[in-house]
Amino acid sequence: MEKTLIKGLALLEALANHGRLCGVSELASELELSKSNTHRLLNTLVATGFCNGERGQYMATLKTWELGVHIMAKFDVRTVARPVMERIAKISAEGVRLAILDEARLEAVLIDTVESSQAVRAFTKIGTRLPIHCTASGKALLLHQDASLLERCSRKLKPATSWTMTEPLEFIRHIEKSGKDGYVTSVREYEDQVSSVGVPILAPDGTTIASISIAAPAGRMPSTTLRKHAQLLQAAAEKIRTAIGRPTSLVDVVNTRGRRPATAATRSRLRS
């Protein structure tokens, strides 16, 4: 593994996350690098156009954003889903999220959002990463996935609130039942005051390529409302799936080929 490349990418990520001018000392301390090493890496980023430097202060340029735009352009699901999301947000008056799976980090990445029109709402932004085990955006991405992914996730059930499911067998049963229902819920599991409902968006081969979900203050999301929103989302997911056709690029990105649904064998291995 090329350590210099890893350090340079970590430095670029830190600059992008800060979104402001940062000094060498601050960055070196944050990344646990020497000041001389940090300075050399920053000079390289400046030379390649990924950041600007002036008077010892550095900031990421739009070059990183430009790369992101090129990548996002390949996600046809985002383009197709946008008008559908806007319609759901208008009907439900709640925030709508579109997410894809980062399998390596067991996270859902929000690639588009439409905010609620209500004053009290669950705020989100594009690029936000959410744990897949305790959010509707994330759990919906687990539906129809390979059993090994579900098992791996079930062994990393960190509690975010007192409502978070942390028992592996209970979690697996929950995902399997949700797969049969066609939607999944997260009731105060990630944030005490927020509940959400989500459904998977499927490729023609039946694998999950993205999720669409609604998140709102828990007080506005009793079980009857969750089911009502689930019906909206299921119709929306089918409309998106039909419009996309076969999303080859997105299927390749999330590597969904050849996945098997979870079976009782998964629960058996956990008991052993």
Whole-number CA gyration radius for the chain: 20
User: What is the pLDDT at residue 195?
Assistant: 96
User: What is the pLDDT at residue 63?
Assistant: 85
Question: Which ranges of the chain have pLDDT less than 50?
Answer: 246-272
User: What is the pLDDT at residue 117?
Assistant: 80
3-state secondary structure the chain: CCHHHHHHHHHHHHHHHHCCCEEHHHHHHHHCCCHHHHHHHHHHHHHCCCEEEECCEEEECCHHHHHHHHHHCCCHHHHHHHHHHHHHHHHHCCEEEEEEEECCCCEEEEEEEECCCCCCCCCCCCCCEEECCCCHHHHHHHCCCCHHHHHHHHCCCCCCCCCCCCCHHHHHHHHHHHHHHCCEEEECCCCCCEEEEEEEEECCCCCEEEEEEEEEEHHHCCHHHHHHHHHHHHHHHHHHHHHHCCCHHHHHHHCCCCCCCCCHHHHHHHHC
User: What is the pLDDT at residue 265?
Assistant: 47
Residue ranges and CATH numbers for the domains of the chain are 3-66 (1.10.10.10), 74-271 (3.30.450.40)
Token output for 139? 């759990």
The model's pLDDT over 93-124, given as tens digits with 9 standing for 90+, comes to 999 999 999 988 899 999 999 988 887 777 77
User: What is the pLDDT at residue 70?
Assistant: 58
The model's pLDDT over 119-130, given as tens digits with 9 standing for 90+, comes to 777 777 888 899
Do 124 and 97 meet the contact criterion of CB atoms below 8 Å apart? yes
User: What is the pLDDT at residue 191?
Assistant: 94
Q: What does the mean pLDDT of the chain come to?
A: 85
